[in-house]
Amino acid sequence: MARSLDGNGVTVGSVMALGAGAVWSFGAITARLADGTDAFQYLIWRSLGIIVVVEVWTLVTRQPRRTIVAFRSGRRMMAANLALLVASIGFVYAVKSTSLADAAFLGSTSPLFGVVLGRWFLGERLNARTIATVVVAMIGLAVMFLGGLGGGNLAGDLAALCSALGFAAYTALVRSAPERDWSPVMPGYAVLMIAICAAVTIGGGNTLVPPGGDIALALLHGGLFIVGGTMLYNGASRSVPVGAMMVFAQTEMILVPCWAFLVLAERPPTNTVVGGAIILAAVICKAILDGRAGRTAAPDGEAPPPAPPTDPILAAT
């Protein structure tokens, strides 16, 4: 249910979705610093980090093993596993085979897919604020990446679009049952990722054990940034519609160039700064306007979602 935060009219769910993108953005830095591994080696250890953290928590809280639950909870849970797998594999393939600008821009079209899926499968009504925010955010993304668009190849560009569609499908699935514990999806898709990436790595004649420093960075990425960001994102699904969630999560796209500048001394181009400012203004304005509307229903006129689980961590996953 939309609740005010510190009297500023910003809903808790909106802040959680914004925070999810912010947490995920740190993973770009760890991936860049792990320069002794290729994408598939890195993804293996990142996935192990996800599984370890989630399963340790289930042991501490005496909950059922999430990895097992991921494959025993019906078709919707399995579909969520596959959706996240497609999103991750698609983006990695895009980065490896097409230009970075193509991969980033086309992969960031996920809010458009999210709006369509939210309307089609969930019947979420789109008010003027949501539509305007998506349009403005996409303009910002275009400003950020259009200067380098078109330098890749068709297969890579299609992979980036598949990544966007996979993430949108995952968001719609989570939103379709906001009262459900979706935490098993994290280790579920991680297991599938390990199997695929290990096969690719071995098939390419590469080692499964890269340098120790790179392993540590990958484990940190998976165990902290992926798990933490996904917990926030899933928690946001209890009060924020699909399209709005995906727009808010574009904070990841805004912050990655900032961290690259601060940590790696990589100065972002002017169009990246301008586009990021446009996106940031759009998502903050929508969050504030939704909060000021003062509704007790979800931001786009939906019925209030069911009460979350009582477990504090599972309530966010």
pLDDT tens-digit series, residues 17-70: 889 989 988 988 888 888 888 888 999 999 999 999 999 988 998 888 889 989
| Structure token pair of residue 120 | 């089609």
pTM given for the model = 0.75
- Confirm whether 46 is domain-assigned: yes
- Confirm whether 315 is domain-assigned: no
| Structure token pair of residue 167 | 């993430």
pLDDT for res 133: 78
What is the spatial distance between Cα 172 and Cα 79, in angstroms, rounded to a whole number? Answer: 11
Residue segments in the chain with a per-residue pLDDT below the cut of 70: 1-10, 95-96, 98-105, 145-153, 268, 272, 280, 287, 290-317
pLDDT for res 308: 34
Count Cα neighbours of 190 within 13 Å in the Cβ-side half-sphere. 30
One-character DSSP codes across 143-163: HHHGGGTT-S-HHHHHHHHHH
pLDDT for res 28: 81
- Confirm whether 205 is domain-assigned: yes
- Confirm whether 311 is domain-assigned: no
- Select from 238, 257, 233, 247 the least CA-distant residue to 129: 247
- Confirm whether 56 is domain-assigned: yes
pLDDT for res 99: 64
- Confirm whether 314 is domain-assigned: no
pLDDT for res 181: 83
What is the spatial distance between Cα 30 and Cα 37, in angstroms, rounded to a whole number? Answer: 12
pLDDT for res 291: 64
Domains: count for the chain: 1
pLDDT for res 284: 72
One-character DSSP codes across 265-298: --PPPHHHHHHHHHHHHHHHHHHHHHHHTT-SS-
pLDDT for res 65: 87
Q: Where are the extended beta strands (E) located within the chain?
A: 4-5, 10-11
Measured at the CA of 32, the angle between CA 185 and CA 43, to 5 degrees, comes to 30
**Cβ-Cβ contacts under 8 Å for 61 (sequence gap 6 or more):** 311, 313, 314
pLDDT for res 190: 94
Domain that holds residue 147: 4-306
- Confirm whether 312 is domain-assigned: no
- Confirm whether 313 is domain-assigned: no
